[in-house]
Each structure stands twice: as C-alpha cells, then as structure tokens.
Structure 1
Amino acid sequence: MTTSSFPLVPAPFQRHIIHLLRERARRAPGRILVSGGGRELSAEALLETSGRLAATLAEAGLRKGDRVAIQLGNRLEFLEAFTACAQLGLFLVPVNTASKGHQLAYYLQNSASRALITESGQMPHLMSALECDAGTINGLARIWFVDAPPASSAQLKNAQLLEKMSAPLSEGDPGEASEPALVMYTSGTSGPSKGVMCSHAQLYWWGHYSIANIGIGEDDVLYTCLPLFHVNALNTFYQALVSGGRMVIGERFSVSRFYRHLIESDATVTYLLGAMVPMLLSRPADASERRHRVRVALAPGVPEKYFQEFEPRTGIRMIDGFGSTESNFVIGSALEDRKPGWMGKVIDGFEARVVDEQDNEVPHGTPGELVLRAREPFAFALGYFGMPDKTIEAWRNLWLHTGDRVVRDEAGYFKFLDRLKDSIRRRGENISSYEVEQVVGLMPGVEHVAVYAVPSELAEDEVMCAIVPRAGHGIAGLDVVRWCESRMPHFAVPRFVRFVDDLPKTENGKVQKYKLRQEGVTADTWDLAASGHAVKR
C-alpha cells in the first residue's frame, strides 16, 4: 500500500507560498501545476521564472513591504508576478481590469503602490486615471507592460516592457507566513473601498479548507474562468498547489463556450457564481453539457430553484459555501451533507454566530448579522491597509462582522438573507454604492443621488439610482449611463434610473435607502435593458 504525498500539510512557518512551491516541486518534480493561454508551469518552473522576475523588481529598487499593483487579465504572468513579489516580501495589489479613472487612481494612491504591472489592453483605463490624478500615475517608480507597450504609453513616465533577468534571484528565506501577501480591494459600504491585507497563511488556509470541503485530490483538474484579481480564483490556485492537482485558467466566462472549455481542459472540478447558473440554463441544451468530466462545482449564491434543473441537465453537482476576502472558507458542506439554498454549516476550525445590533447571539431561526472567528493563527485577514479605524470597527468584540444578514436553523445550517452593508453584488463583482454615487453626483444637473441594489432576474443584484435633478436641468436615463460608462467599471454602471422630487431621509438628514429598496423598480423607472441600448466597455 502506497501513501500519497498530498495534500501538503506544512508546519506553520512553511505556509508561505515560496515554501509551498518548493515542497510541491520536491514531492512531484515536473508535474504541471497551472496552465493557461497556451502555456503551462510546474512548481519548479514557476519558481524559476518568478525568480528571474523578482530580480528585475529588486533591480528597480523595490524592497520588502513595498506595494506593487497589478492590472492583468487571466494570464500566467499574474501568478508569476505574485510569486516574484512573495520572494521579495512585496505586497501585490490586484486591481480589477474594469477599473479606470478615479477608481483606478484611488487604488494606486490609497495603497501607495510604487509600481504597476499591466498589459497593453489596459492602456485606455490607465490614461483615464492619468487624467484624474496625474501625480499618482506619474509618481509610480515603474509602469511595466507584460506585452509590447502601446505607442500611447510614451505619455507615461517610467513605462517600459517587463523583462525578466537572465538569472533568478538567489534563493533565500522569503519571510514569515504571517506577513502580508496581498492588498485586495473590496467594496466600500459607507465610504471608499478598503484594501484587505491577506497574509500568506490566510491564503494557505483557503486552499486547505476548500480541498477538504470540495473533496479535491491530486488527480483533479481545476478549471476556473473567474478573474485572478478576486480571491476565488487565487484560492483555486492554492487548492491545486496544496492538493497536488492542476489548475487550468480560462480567459473569461462565456455562456456559449463554457462547456467546450470544460471538455478541452479535462476538468473534474469547476467554479461558478450565482448569476452564472441561470445564464448557462438560458442557452439551448446540447450534448456538450454532458461530455465533460466535471463532477462538482463550488457555486456559492445559487438559488435553490436552479439546482433541480442544472444538475440533471449537466451532471455537475453544486455545493454552496461562504467566504469573504477578510475571512476564509468558513461555512460549507460536503455533497452528501448539503442543503440546496443554504450555505452549509460552520467548518471545523472556525466559529460563527448570528447576532443582533449589540452583538448578542440570537436564537435559531432569528435573522441577524453573521460574525466569525478563526481558531488557526492568521487564517483571517490582518485588517484594512492604512485604515486602523475600519479594522477595529469590523473586528469589534474580537469577531469579524461580515455585514451579512443570515439565519441559522436548528441543525446548524446557515442561510443568506441579504446585506446589512450598503453594498451591491452584481455578476460576481462587489460594487460600492458610495463610489457610484460619487461619479453620478458630479454629473451636471444632478442635485442628489442614491444608489442601491434591486433584485436581478439572474440572481444577485442590479444597480439602481434615484436622482433628484437640479431645477431647470433636463436629464434622461441614457444620459446617466453615458456619463458613467467612461468613468467607472462597466459592471457598476446603473441599469435602472429613477428621477424623484426628493429622497427619503431620517430626521438628521441620512438617506433611508431601505425605503428605496422596498419600492424597487417602479413604473416610472427607466430600464437600460429595455431601452435597446448597452453599456460601452
């Protein structure tokens, strides 16, 4: 009887990505770890190529603790940059590829990033950020392009092609697993987005708990088309690394090509978001939906009603779960224990409570806020970068407050109800209503604006805004969309626009958005989807 070398169960100091890669290379030399875009890398190949990139970063003067922003699509250069930064103790700052203008400039400024790694296709977004904040953009020590810089990059200071040194950085101690690996921006609720500091240990635990809950082994092939700048896809990388399996990165989600990509990748495990399942069910059924090898999909947020159609039609069984950038894979259930429509039970290694506004635990069946705690050290985020007050607020009473309203049944299953926070989740993206309001509020003719979520036909949310126009100004719904589309990510542009005489407010002047959400899409609301127009990307 032979004993498998996987999954990796490292000592605390070995939970750093560099130690994990070295151990994977020792146990399974030459085995492919990740592939995508016509390339594939083993653990030792990733260490070698990222080591040469680390030498480039070091030569540019970047030192431990510096932040390096990255705005790339799903390509292996993303993981090379992540690993290179880890070798030097740099914090990688993943930026959504849709970010532009004020939002992109804010991420760079707030994180105090010293360099940016990007690609030529992002040049229009970078130029829009330059127009908003030339000082921040030109203040970057380097703007590196992983492909040939476009001619327009001559307008940027310190822009050049990112080239790897001929020799890798000397191998050494990369640092502690408790140190930050990433600063990941998550949607603000009553203010700007916050940069979540994720340690190397937290990312390891993401992989560890996901492997156990999904049931992943070293023979599995994990296909994801979710973006690498989100924790979901980075978690998939750690699942492959720790389990001994292989990750295949898809360029992006496509309804028409999703099953073909599952077949081509030989995937056994895949990853879906709530809105993706009804989109896949909307296409005509064909044989490709059953020709793949996928047995299970991690599919958080899928409404119960879609399980009954999707699983028999595709042969893919889905499991739900809960995790956030600040936490980990905290709630879930294995296939044999799942309860469709419910997130699952708290996973061993964590604690979860449902509490009232004063953090008192409420009885089973009573809605309240989900608060969490980890037993393992550094399994949760370290806090918000440069925002100690927000960190204290979120971790008050030594529990992470998720801002999510849930209910727990007598058997210990948790069900998501809605968000206490003023945030919006649309097509798998978290949107700050505050940031959308900042853009719409600058539009000529807008006196006041409130942005909020309304239910989507595809699960999750749609973005709606209520606008009080200035006297004497005429504004149409399409005018709002055209104003927004060049100033924010396409997924954040409001679908619904309603013009009102006033916004409901409390006695001290705060907008009562819950009243607007209760009213929902009214008869006098303008709908982009029904207008025949579309958002320009």
Structure 2
Amino acid sequence: MKQTGAAGAGTNNQGSLQMYIQGLANRLQDIADRVPERVFAQTAEGALTFGQIGAAANEVAARLLDRELVKGDRVVVMMANSLGALAVIHGLMRAGLVWVPVNPSLVGEPLAHVIRTTQPGLVICDAGVEPALADCDAAQGIPVEILRDRGLPAGGGVPATSCPDPADLAAIMFTSGTTGPAKGVMVSHMMLELAAEGVALCADLVPGDNLFMWEPFYHIGGAQVIVLPLIRDVHLTIADRFSASRFWQDVAQGGCTHIHHLGGIIQILLKQPPGPQDRAHKVRIAWGGGCATEAWRPFEDRFGVQIRECYGMTECSSLTTWNDEGVVGAVGRPMPWFDIDLRAEDGRILGPGEGRGEIVVRSSLSGAITQGYFRNPEATARALRPEGFRTGDLGSWDAEGRLFFHGRMTDSVRCKGENVSAFEVESVAARHPQVVDAAMVGVKADIGENDILLFIQPQPGHSPDPAEIWQWMARQLAPHQRPRYIALVPDFPRTPSQRIQKHLLPDDPALRWDRLSAAALVTPQEARP
C-alpha cells in the first residue's frame, strides 16, 4: 500500500516548486543588493547583515578563483563555527566550487579517507589544524590556506563567474561513519535549498522568527540552517557549540523562537537541574530528530516548547517527513516533494498494521534525492534502486498514515535466534534515572551468535550498580533483548550531530559487568517482562 500523506497534495506543487528554486548563491546576492541592511544573523561579534555576508562571499569567491580553481573543483574546509567559516562556505557556493566540510578535529585515517576520496584542489582550515594535515600522507602536496583571523573578510572582490545552477554540486558531505568508513553524499544546490524548505515546514517558520543555531556548519544539520535566511524572512542566533548548562540562558539572551534537537539533546536538557531559566525564554518550537517517546511530553511540559519531530537523511535533502500533529513517537508525513514506501524483505509494500519495513524514498521532483556517493559506485548502486532510495532504516505506519521510525536495519544484534534492535534496548536504558545515554553493540557469544553489550553513561555524580540497572531493564525487555554485559563509560564519542560512534567504544572485556558471572541474579519473578 502506497502512503503519500502530505505528498499527495504536494505532487501538484512540484512543478511550481522547481520553478521557485533559484539557487542559493543567486538568493544571497539578490537580498544583499535589495536590502543590504537586513539582519542575517546575530553573533558574538554583533549583527551580521546581508550586505556584509554578500560582500564577504564575493570576496572569498574572487580570491579562490584567482587561485586558478575552476567550477566543480573540491575544497576541503576544516573550520569551527565562525564568521570567517560562514564567509568561506557562502563564497564557495558563489564561486561554483564544491564545499567538502570536515570536522576540524578529524585526524589519521578518517581524514586521509576524505582527502583520498575527494582529491581537493585546496584545504582551508583554522589555525591549529596544520599538524593533522602534515601527518596525513594523503594531504601532501595539496595547497593549504590557514585562516588565522576568524572574522569576516572585507568585501571588494567580484568573482568573474555567474552564480551556479541549482542542479550543480554544492557539497560532498560525509556520513557520520558510526559503524564504518564514511561515504561522501553528493549534495546539489537544489538539495540544500530543499533542506531549508523542509526546516521551514517542520518548524512552522513565520516572518521575524529567530533560530538558535548551535550546530556545526560542517554537518547537514548546520548547513541547512545557515541557508534558511535566504528562503524565509528569519534570522539566526549563532553559538559556537552546544552547551547543556548554558543552553537556555543563551537562547533567552538571543530572543530565539526556535531550537533544533538531534540525537540525545532532548534527554540531555531534561536531565539538567530545573531552574527559573526553564521558562524564561521565547522559544515555541523544538524541531529535529531523535526525541525519545518517554521524553516528549515531559520536555514540552517543563520547558513550554512544542516538539516537532522529523525524519530524514542527507541523501534525501535532509528532511523527508515531519510531524505537525503532536502524535508522540511519530515522525509524521512526507514532505510535499517526497513519497514513501515501506518494503518487507520479500519486496512487498507494507500498509498500516502490516509490520515494519525498510523506508524507501521516492520523488518526482528531479534533484530532490542525491545522485549518489562520490567515487563510490558500489554504495551508490546499493542505495539508488529503481523502486527509490533505500534508506536502510525501519519504519511502520499507523492507521492514519503517519510514519514511525524504528532505527537502522543494520543497528541490530542477532541474539538467541532473534534480531534485537539497538534503538529499542537503548530507549529503555535511557529512561533509568541514573543514566544519561546508552549504546548497544553485539559481541561474539561463547555459544551461538552474539551476546548484547550495553554501554551506559551515568548521570554526573552517580555510580550506578550494573546489576541493579539490569534488573530494572529486565522488567521492560523480553529475555532475548536483555544485555549479558554492561559497561560504564564517563562519556561517549560522538559525531557533530551527537550520534554515538559505536565503533570507537572500548573493547576491553575487563571493563564489563557480566550477568552470567554476577553473584546476585534476579529471580524469575523479578525478571518477568
């Protein structure tokens, strides 16, 4: 059964939407020329106007083209959030060069993988990144430009090239790489513009809104936000990073109306000590993905903010569905330019009440879905299929045609003859009052397939007993879902979007509590699911 939801109405608008897409560089220059005094963002250095960012983008574009870079050349950018980074990104888009955003803390083989894959003509980085580049064999011989001044460059240059077309490649954005080597998603100017359009719908933006931006520019969550003022009459309040302890203070001082949540941020904010700052703000909507169902209503009730959950991937213009109906746990209905099927393992299309299937995304709007992974034809062929983009994510429909997300198909463990979803086990663990977050992985079993190892980050100041946590979880999990091992870690290695990097978790059996060798086991009565 095909579920179109909002996409049914949107199909009639797809032609007009494609005509509406002008290209981000065109939009920036148009607004900078017409209303140069309009505010683009509030920063620690003060207000940033369209006139300033437009001139800075032209200056950067002209300077880069003077290096004899040509349209389509790749440029790796390793910069933390700053005015200088903002100018570089918009300058690259203005010049028609391909932005390759890279976390400035990346080192070693992950950095070499990005360099080898993209073969950039230039690396632009913050001061302090040079040692990582010097140690990277793949970066040898590539020109490096170090931006020691994090401020906005003075305008004056005029690039000797027209603005790129919406279909041109804007960026190669590498996936998080939580379980293996990262893949470079090819993102067009049109895809970035659609990503911003998706945010505007999900967040219910109106003229004058002010979005608090903590996301790193080099992640799709940040990239789509720094182009929002180009498509709506809104502005940004830019922070240098996410800080749970000062989050609401920063939001209130900025006068922000919207916040963005990713990964475990909702839970992290909920576990901060209550205080007067909880309601001393103007925020009305938190939009994003990854809100645990048990945290949804408590967050709304405590902070007076409506949660609007969405689902998506960089490969499909970032946002694929959004929930504006307030149904807890749902990721909603498709964006107007998308349709979704849920496919069973045998290829059947599933409808409401027919269980879980892989989320497959389709669009008749040319360019809404990536052309593939840069220089990775094998991964491209696996994902881009005749039936649509195979996300590798599990979903189900409710009776009204709303989508529910159930985690990655590959993020599961075969245990006692059953596939155990990490998403479901981690959600239970995260509800424990002494737990900040949790991550489940599989380890080789003594007999059979795998055993479950659960990593737990305790609340600050707590040293929970793994046996007690196991007993508490056992009452809420089926026998095959219960972890054999529990390991406590002070913190999790995370991606810029706050996803846990499971492949970096410690692999030392000595650090694990083992249920089978524990002195005190729960009784069958206590362990009843």
Give the TM-score category using the shorter length.
Answer: 0.7 to 0.9
1:55 to 62, 84, 100: 62
Q: Which residue does 2:327 correspond to in 1?
A: 339
Partner of 2:216 in structure 1?
227
- Alpha-carbon displacement from aligned partner over 1:120-161 (angstroms, at most 9, x marks no partner): 24x3xx534543x32x222212x122216xxxxxxxxxxxx9
Match of 2:336 among 342, 345, 348: 348
- Aligned residue for 2:507, secondary structure, equals strand
Letter of the 1:356 partner, please give it: A
How many equivalent pairs are there?
439
Aligned partner (choices 128, 137, 140) of residue 138 of structure 1: 140
**Which secondary structure state, in structure 2, belongs to the residue aligned with residue 320 of structure 1?**
strand
1:457-476 C-alpha deviation (Å, 9 max, x unpaired): 278752757489xxxxxxxx
Q: Say whether 1:127 aligns with 2:131.
A: yes
| 1:42 aligned partner, one-letter code | T
After superposition, the C-alpha distances for 1:318-340 in whole angstroms (9 at most, x for unaligned) are 11011110013211122xx1211
Two-structure CA RMSD over aligned residues (Å)? 3.4
Q: Percent identity?
A: 24
Please say if 1:359 is aligned against 2:363.
no
> Which has the higher mean CA deviation after the structures are superposed, 57-66 or 290-299?
57-66
Q: Which letter does structure 2 place at the counterpart of 1:311?
A: E
Question: Counterparts of 2:329 and 2:507 in 1: how far apart (Å)?
Answer: 31
Aligned to 1:155: none
Q: Which residue number in structure 2 is paired with residue 87 of structure 1?
A: 94
SS of the residue aligned with 1:209? helix
Alignment CA distance shift 1:117-1:170 (3 Å):
closer
Aligned counterparts of 1:25 and 1:423: Cα–Cα separation in 2: 49
Assess, with a 3 A threshold, how the Cα gap between structure 1 residues 390 and 274 changes in structure 2: closer, same or farther.
closer
Query: Aligned equivalents of 1:203 and 1:304: distance in 2?
Result: 29
Is the 2:307–2:326 Cα contact (8 Å) retained in structure 1? no
Q: 2:467 matched to which residue of 1? A: none
- Aligned position for 1:474: none
Structure 2 unaligned spans of 5+: 1-15, 414-421, 446-454, 456-488, 519-529
The residue aligned with 1:441 is: none
Alpha-carbon distance in structure 2 between the residues aligned to 1:346 and 1:490? 24
How many angstroms apart in 1 are the aligned matches of 2:43 and 2:151? 20
Paired position in structure 2 for 1:45: 52
Distance in 1 (CA, whole Å) between partners of 2:499 and 2:402 is: 35
1:408 aligns with 2:383: no
Query: What amino acid is aligned across from residue 141 of structure 2 in structure 1?
Result: G
Contact 1:37 1:75 in 2 (8 A): no
Report the CA distance between 1:77 and its aligned residue.
Answer: 2.1
Deviation per residue, 1:209-230 (Å, 9 max, x gap): 3212321022100112121111
Deviation of the 1:275 alpha carbon:
0.6
Provide the C-alpha distance between the structure 2 equivalents of 1:422 and 1:358, rounded to a whole number of angstroms. Answer: 20
> Which range is displaced more, 38-47 or 245-254?
38-47
- Distance in 2, matches of 1:258 and 1:423, equals 33
User: Unaligned regions of 5+ residues in structure 1, if any?
Assistant: 1-8, 149-160, 425-451, 469-476, 501-519, 527-537
- Measure the CA separation in 1 of the matches of 2:93 and 2:506: 43
Provide closer, same or farther for how the CA distance between residues 37 and 72 of structure 1 changes in structure 2, counting only shifts above 3 A.
farther
Query: How far apart, CA to CA, are the structure 1 residues paired with 2:117 and 2:70?
Result: 19
Would you say the 8 A contact 1:272–1:300 is kept in 2? yes
The 5-angstrom pairing of residues 32-431 of structure 1 reads 32-121=39-128, 123=129, 126-128=130-132, 130-131=134-135, 133-134=136-137, 136-141=138-143, 143-147=144-148, 167-170=156-159, 172-188=161-177, 192-328=181-317, 329-334=319-324, 337-365=325-353, 366-422=355-411
AA aligned to 2:305 is I
Distance in 1 (CA, whole Å) between partners of 2:294 and 2:260 is 19
TM-score normalized with structure 1 length: 0.74
What is the distance in 2 between the residues matched to 1:309 and 1:202?
Answer: 34
Measure how far apart 1:87 and its partner are: 2.0
Q: Separation in 1 of the partners of 2:105 and 2:442?
A: 20
Q: 1:358 offset after TM fit, Å?
A: 4.1
Instruction: Note closer, same or farther for the CA distance 1:239–1:98 as it changes in structure 2 (3 Å cut).
Output: same
Residues 222 and 269, structure 1, Cα contact 8 Å, conserved in 2: yes
Residue-by-residue CA offset, 1:480-520 (whole Å, 9 max, x unaligned): x9xx99xx9996374453549xxxxxxxxxxxxxxxxxxx9
Q: Cα deviations across residues 421-458 of structure 1 (Å, max 9, x unaligned)? A: 3599xxxxxxxxxxxxxxxxxxxxxxxxxxx9972627
**Farther off after superposition, 490-499 or 17-26:** 490-499
SS at match of 1:497: coil
Q: Is the 8 A contact 1:224 1:249 kept in 2?
A: yes
The letter of the residue matching 1:316 is: V
Q: Deviations over 1:23-42 (max 9, x none)?
A: 33355431111232314322
CA shift, 1:295, in A, is 0.4
Q: Deviations over 1:59-108 (max 9, x none)?
A: 22211111001111121222211111112211000012332111111111
* CA distance in structure 1 between the aligned counterparts of 2:398 and 2:189, rounded to whole angstroms: 34
**Distance in 2 of aligned mates of 1:56 and 1:72:** 18
Conserved 8 A contact 1:188-1:423: no
Counterpart residue type for residue 55 of structure 1: A
Q: Secondary structure at the match of 2:316?
A: coil
CA distance in 2, matches of 1:490, 1:406: 19
TM-score, normalising length: structure 2: 0.75
**Aligned partners of 1:32, 1:291: CA distance in 2, in Å?**
24
